[in-house]
Structure 1
């Protein structure tokens, strides 16, 4: 019986900004664990940033420069979260089932 292996989208881009993928059958391997830990950190940072965003947006006197910085940080965090969600969606797909984890165009 042939094992089914799918490439895992890693939570960081390559040097040229394009997606990085991992091909392994070892979910406990070094790179798999590094990717898992990186995803957890990215999600935790996103949660912290969301809390900060709520505070800034609640301040009716927030400085426009602070709002621009917040928008930039939220953009980067959202990009990380979308990458993690895409990767995890790919991991959930199985042979014979429709692929619900189509790679978004901004990752191609």
Structure 2
């Protein structure tokens, strides 16, 4: 059985949503989630480019206002939250190498 997939959206209460599937990623909802992740990653890249233009352009230093910087910081925070969720979702679906268990702590203990 595959692990639940963390979806790139939350429920109405702000809690994470998960998809239980067969692990193939071929379901309709899985494809929708893939598309949403792709859009989120593209938007994050565009926002990073905009931030670089706004913050690194010496001509814009005197023209950039505090409200613009607060707005940029809020959008960057949203984008980072989305990218972090995508990374967690994809990382959780990676296959563990053979022999890796959740009880690795037992292997590191030594009896003195």
Q: TM-score, normalised by structure 2?
A: 0.80
Partner in structure 2 of residue 105 of structure 1: none
Partner in structure 1 of residue 21 of structure 2: 24
Cα deviation, 1:51-71, whole Å, max 9, x if unaligned, reads 000011122121110000000
Partner in structure 1 of residue 87 of structure 2: 85
Partner in structure 2 of residue 55 of structure 1: 53
Q: What is the CA-CA distance between 1:93 and the residue it aligns to?
A: 3.6
Farther-moved stretch of structure 1 (21-30 vs 64-73):
21-30
5+ residue gaps, structure 1, are: 100-108
Instruction: Quote the Cα distance in structure 2 between the aligned partners of 1:49 and 1:98.
Output: 39
Instruction: Quote the Cα distance in structure 2 between the aligned partners of 1:17 and 1:97.
Output: 33
Structure exhibiting the larger radius of gyration computed from Cα positions: 2
Pair 1:98–1:67, CA change in 2 (3 A): farther
Q: What is the CA-CA distance between 1:14 and the residue it aligns to?
A: 1.1
Q: Does 1:97 align with 2:97?
A: no
Partner in structure 1 of residue 67 of structure 2: 65
Instruction: Quote the Cα distance in structure 1 between the aligned partners of 2:99 and 2:16.
Output: 25
SS in 2 for 1:28: coil
Q: TM-score, normalised by structure 1?
A: 0.82
5+ residue gaps, structure 2, are: 103-112
Pair 1:76–1:23, CA change in 2 (3 A): same
